Amino acid sequence: MIVVLRLFHDEPSSVSFAEKLRGEDLLARLKVLDSRAHRKGLDSLDPKRNPLIRLGMEINERGRVTKNAYGVFHLSWQAEKERDWHKRIQEELQGIRNQIRQAHGVRLRFLIWVGMGGSAEDKAAYQGAGLLNRGPRCYVLDSTDPAKLKSILEDMERRSRLPVIEILKSTLVAGMALGMTSFEPVVNLEKLSALYDKHKVDARPNFVYLTMTGSLLDAFGHSRGFRRVELQMDAGNSTSGRHSSPLTRGSLYPLGLAGVDLKQWIAGTYLSPEQIDVAWQLAAFLQAQSLAGRDKVTLLTPKSWEGAALWTKQDFEESLGKSEQHGIKILIGEKIKLANYRSPKDALQDRVFLAVSRKGAPGPDKGKLSILRRAGYPLAVLTLPAGAALSSYMQLVHYTVFGLAYLRQMNFVTQPSVELYKAITQKLHTAAAKAGGIEQIREWQRLKNPAASFQYRGGISLHLPFLGELNLNKADAPAAYAAVLKRLAEMRQIEYGELTFFGDTRYSARGRAIRQCLDHAADLLFRSRLKMGADVCEGPAMNHSYHEMIIGHGRCFSTVLLSEKAESIPSVNYTSAYHRAQFLATQLALAERKRPVAAILVKDLEEATLRRLDEFFRQAASHLK
């Protein structure tokens, strides 16, 4: 497989960085270190003597290695030696199918994948690429908003026209969490398990879970007699969530159920030294541009791989976003529009463009790329051969991220900011349970403080309690929002925006409608008016993905939104209590790190309310002219 990388306007030159990566025999050193960790154990590793240990392993406060996280590379090396992983996966999946058929007399129709962030995002990428179109219909349950599970169950009923009891019998529920304290998957698995109990269906043949021994998920699954599946084919524990794709069971199970050629998929990760060198050339280019102030990477993907853009964003930002000094923002979902960019001669121009294509397949618009090149914007064009598997691209991205981590001497496997948000959530949830609801605790009352709140028509309210003294007493809500944006942008305290709705935006019609509203707001406010990139996403899933950079690196203006009309599933006592705690915890985590954040509450997701929300953003944009 020949992978070609073309660089345009590589100024300042990235050659010295590429030579550094190429000249230090990194691949051989990685293999030697990983081999030692497996043969002699973690106690044999001294972080002071080998810098690679500090980059790709977890180390406790006593300086001892507690986890070798180089499984992101090791799994491919191991698979290439053993060559039978595809057969083993198919045998395991057939066993699961047989168990469901023997217990309930039905075939497998549906797959609900329960996880957060890196444990779920690759499945969404595979769906977007059309890889999961065959086999059982796959749903990604990556939110504690009851609306998402409710919408999934409604869609299953609509498609199958079967009663709930028959749907449950023909569904495989897979829970995955690679954190010891990940509580969100347990919330959803507990409610799904209760649904099976309510309908008197034995859930044990239908549930599997992938996690570490002793985790919250492990304790939950073991107590109910569910089948635990080793995440890695080598039974090891050397991957983080975002690195679980493309080669752990967390990736291979849904692909195998959908009939993807696993032998070809796995072989796609066997990168040659020449292909890895291309990944490191790309890392060198991005590093040189970043040091020159161009650290906002506009990612352009083939249409068939658009779903992988968010996965790519997550891999880069969660891995490399923890440094205040060095950041690398991946901007996705944008159309090339020169009017939204600063001139290449502008000292504040902070964009670099990365176009990914496959020969013979529709890719980024070549005419638009030519316009960027002629205008003088830095551009990298990565071309994979015809028929290249998505797994090859994923593995190339992993090596690119590692190359950047090496150049920056940064650990690319830990995620301290994600842990901060999770810890705050647990505290709020516990306090809310004691107080009789999240609205009763002082942190929520601080959010609703009238002195920092601005009401808008149609049940829209803006809340700015974490931004200090604003002096906006006479401003209406859109004007206040615009004034804060303008002030922070002029001071260069923010360089991009984030609009996150806490709720389902994938399966419910109203959720998709608010997503469309936020996409329009991102274009109008940030890209057009402020010449900034913007993220539009769903919380809390993305808190487990790229919030590492928003909290760690900063320079983002976050706007989080929530519907005051909460969804629930009364039959299994599923309320939005934990979900609302996550909404508030996100703001507190950002505020603790002095990151600017605003909250917008909408009374509901009805069409009239969303029209008012769109109007709010339009008026705010008018103040930014």
Q: Note the pLDDT tens digit of each residue in 417-437.
A: 777 888 899 999 999 999 999
- With vertex at residue 248, the alpha carbon angle to CA 246 and CA 251, rounded to the nearest 5 degrees, is 55
Domain count, the chain: 2
Average pLDDT, stretch 233-250? 94
CB 139 within 8 A of CB 507: yes
In a domain, 468, yes or no: yes
In a domain, 185, yes or no: yes
Q: Provide the residue type at 29 as one letter.
A: R
- The contacts of residue 557 (CB under 8 Å, 6+ apart) are 484, 485, 488, 494, 496, 497, 498, 596, 597, 598
Question: Could you report the per-residue pLDDT of 37-60, keeping only the tens digit for each?
Answer: 999 999 999 999 999 999 999 999
pLDDT higher than 70, residue 79: yes
Of 233, 261, 289, which residue sits at a domain end? 261
The CATH number given to whatever domain includes residue 547 is 3.40.50.10490
The distance in angstroms from the start CA to the end CA of the chain is 50
* Mean of per-residue pLDDT scores for the chain: 95
Half-sphere exposure of 536 (CA within 13 A, CB side): 22
pTM above 0.85, yes or no: yes
Which structure tokens are listed for 266?
A: 């796995």
Write down which residue in 214, 243, 261 finishes a domain: 261
pLDDT of residue 545: 67
Reading across the β-sheet that carries 227-228, which strands appear in turn? Answer: 137-141, 110-114, 171-176, 207-210, 227-228
Taking alpha carbons only, the member of 480, 321, 304 closest to residue 387 is 304
In a domain, 48, yes or no: no
In one letter, which amino acid is 443? Answer: E
Q: How do residues 313-357 score in pLDDT, each as one tens digit?
A: 999 999 999 889 998 999 999 999 999 999 999 999 999 999 999
Q: What is the domain range of residue 255?
A: 83-261
Query: Is 552 within a domain?
Result: yes
pLDDT one-digit tens code per residue, 99-140 = 999 999 999 999 999 998 889 999 999 999 999 999 999 999
User: Is 33 inside any structural domain?
Assistant: no
Only one residue has tokens 């030692």, namely 36
Please tell me the least confidently modeled range out of 75-79, 275-279, 300-304, 381-385.
Answer: 300-304
Given a cut of 90, whether residue 377 has pLDDT beyond it is: yes
Q: Is position 108 within any domain?
A: yes
Q: Where a domain ends, among 197, 232, 261?
A: 261
Q: What is the mean pLDDT of residues 482-494?
A: 95
DSSP character string of 99-131 = HHHHHHS----EEEEE--GGGTHHHHHHHHTTT
Cβ–Cβ < 8 Å for 579, 149: no
Strands (DSSP E) along 242-338, which ranges? 296-300, 329-331
Judge whether 428 lies within some domain: yes
Position 554 in a domain: yes
